[in-house]
Amino acid sequence: MGIRTGADYIEALKSRQPEVWLKGKKVVDLVNEPVFKQPIQEIAKLYDMQHDPEYQNRITHICEETGERINNAFLVPRSAEDLKARSEVFEVFAKATFGLMGRTPDFLNVVVTSMASNSWFLDKYNPEWSKNIRNYYRYIRDNDLFLTHAIINPQNDRSKASHEQNDMFTHLGTVEETAEGLVVRGAKMLATLAPITDEVIVYSFPGFQPGDERYALAFALPIDTPGLRILCREPMQDGKRSLFDHPLASRFEEMDAVLVFHDVVVPWDRVFLYNNVEAANLLYPKTGIAQQPAHQSGVRGWVKLAFATEVACKIADSIGVDTYLNVQHELGELVQSVETIRALLRVAEYEYEVTDSGEVMPAPVPLETIRGLLPKMYPRAIEVLQTIGAGGLLMSPTGADFENPELRGDFDKYYAGRAGVSGEERVRLFKLAWDLCGEAFGQRLLQYERYYTGDPIRKRAIFYNQYKRNHSFSMVDEALNGARHSEALLNR
């Protein structure tokens, strides 16, 4: 099949009927459900970009194995040029969504690509697992599928391991083996965009303990597999708000969900790992599924931070406050944050590593540095935006107000910004800013960035400990030895 169009994607959604629950009701018409309708259109636009002459050669390539055109997210990098080709699709997709959708199709397609290209690791434990992930990679590549994932256990009692929970199947685990496959029961989260994806992949996040064998799982299934229930969080918008009043929230709402598996059968050819705590704990570091997708999330985070910075700059300019030194100082801080992330991405791509199998991976240290900085930098950008917008963020009229001829004159006069900025232009700009920094939609984006890769304190501590193991701090030794040498010379 090769690359599909937006229409292909929407037709695939129409052909499925996953069990999706939203606000206490079962969704019966997924494509026309107001909460999902516009986000579906935004994802469809990404698929259409693959066919647009302006983007096609930048974000797709001809597959050597099939001769068909495929997305660059499925490219196994063998050179610096390949790495840049992958970076190109990350950037194009991120800019098309202003970095506000963290789970566009490229993200998990990179995860599966990385897992398949490093299937040697699974081969050590079970050759069937290795074969299965390679076949699955070809399947989603050749059909250009859109995946969600669920790798985190529900927030029940975090002080206890999975096998210590009150109910054996609070966390997703294996019930039994059958001739058809594994029967699994329990829950996983946070399945972002799950209702409007093609498939879900579940894999293991490090942290399993002895006794957790039944919970050590990796597999993939169609999102409409019988017994798989999708429990959506409260939506941040109802899908009926106008684009004038909510230009971001009405378009880029990423639904998050808890996936509940009610004795779901996972066919044997879809099982990538199970019943092995050691393999589950090593899956992340050994297959590159932390490092390669971190490249995508780094590019996406950079675009998102740049967008928030541009909004802050435009707000300041629209009301003339960027003539004040303190505002210039804060905006300069945001611009430098954007440039810091951009520079780290370029370093990660330039100082790439080559694995024993010949796969090129972006350098891990700058990528982990991005992961440590963004949870601070993005909230800071939102804080600056809130400060500059001040009370004006709370005082915007609606699009309907501007359509009333009796009121239009007042709004044109009293809501106008500096010279050349009309009342409508200024209100539209402030509404966009409020979506980003004040609405529930924007607060979800803020929380998402804070905890994107987990607890930021724990992540930074892990980074430090790895850095300490890999560095001898030789400059300190050289300085001390040089001082001793100089001291000895003086004492002769």
CATH code of 339's domain: 1.20.140.10
| pLDDT at residue 393, as a whole number | 94
- Evaluate whether 198 touches 12 at the Cβ level (below 8 Å): yes
Does residue 491 fall inside a structural domain?
no
CB atoms within 10 A of CB 207: 13
441 and 346 share a domain?
A: yes
Question: Looking at 332-397, which runs of residues are DSSP E strands?
Answer: 353-354, 360-361
| pLDDT at residue 473, as a whole number | 86
Number of structural domains in the chain = 2
Tokens of 8: 């292909």
Distance CA 25, CA 322 (A): 48
Does residue 205 fall inside a structural domain?
yes
In a 13 Å sphere around the CA of 215, the CA atoms on its Cβ side amount to 27
- What does pLDDT average to in each consecutive run of 10 residues of the chain (492 residues)? 93 96 95 95 98 97 95 96 96 97 95 95 96 98 97 84 83 96 95 96 88 95 97 89 92 95 98 95 90 94 98 97 96 98 97 92 95 95 97 92 93 91 94 96 92 80 85 87 82 76
Q: Indicate the angle between helix axes 440-450 and 291-318, nearest 10 degrees.
A: 140
Does residue 484 fall inside a structural domain?
no
Q: Residue 21: which H helix or E strand, with range?
A: strand 19-22
| pLDDT at residue 17, as a whole number | 92
Does residue 329 fall inside a structural domain?
yes
Does residue 251 fall inside a structural domain?
yes
Does residue 125 fall inside a structural domain?
yes
Give the structural domain span for 441: 291-454
Residue with tokens 């540095």: 369
310 and 252 share a domain?
A: no
Distance CA 332, CA 309 (A): 10
Distance CA 167, CA 183 (A): 17
Distance CA 316, CA 323 (A): 9
Distance CA 217, CA 179 (A): 18
CA distances in angstroms from 273 to 122, 202, 220, listed in the order given:
8, 10, 11
238 and 301 share a domain?
A: no
130 and 246 share a domain?
A: yes
DSSP code at position 29: -
Among 287, 302, 331, the domain boundary falls at 287
439 and 362 share a domain?
A: yes
| pLDDT at residue 428, as a whole number | 95
| pLDDT at residue 451, as a whole number | 85
For the chain, the straight-line distance linking the first and the last C-alpha, in angstroms and rounded, comes to 81
Q: Which of 276, 272, 250 is nearest to 199 (CA)?
A: 272
319 and 278 share a domain?
A: no
274 and 310 share a domain?
A: no
Tokens of 471: 């560095």
271 and 402 share a domain?
A: no
Q: Which of 260, 287, 238 is nearest to 439 (CA)?
A: 238
Does residue 478 fall inside a structural domain?
no
Tokens of 280: 């589950």
Among 287, 306, 341, the domain boundary falls at 287
The domain that contains 112 carries what CATH number?
2.40.110.10
Does residue 471 fall inside a structural domain?
no
199 and 172 share a domain?
A: yes
163 and 133 share a domain?
A: yes
Global pTM value: 0.94
Question: Looking at 192-234, which runs of residues are DSSP E strands?
Answer: 199-202, 217-222, 228-232
Q: Residue 373: which H helix or E strand, with range?
A: helix 364-389
139 and 74 share a domain?
A: yes
Residue type, 139: Y
| pLDDT at residue 98, as a whole number | 97
Among 287, 302, 322, the domain boundary falls at 287
157 and 200 share a domain?
A: yes
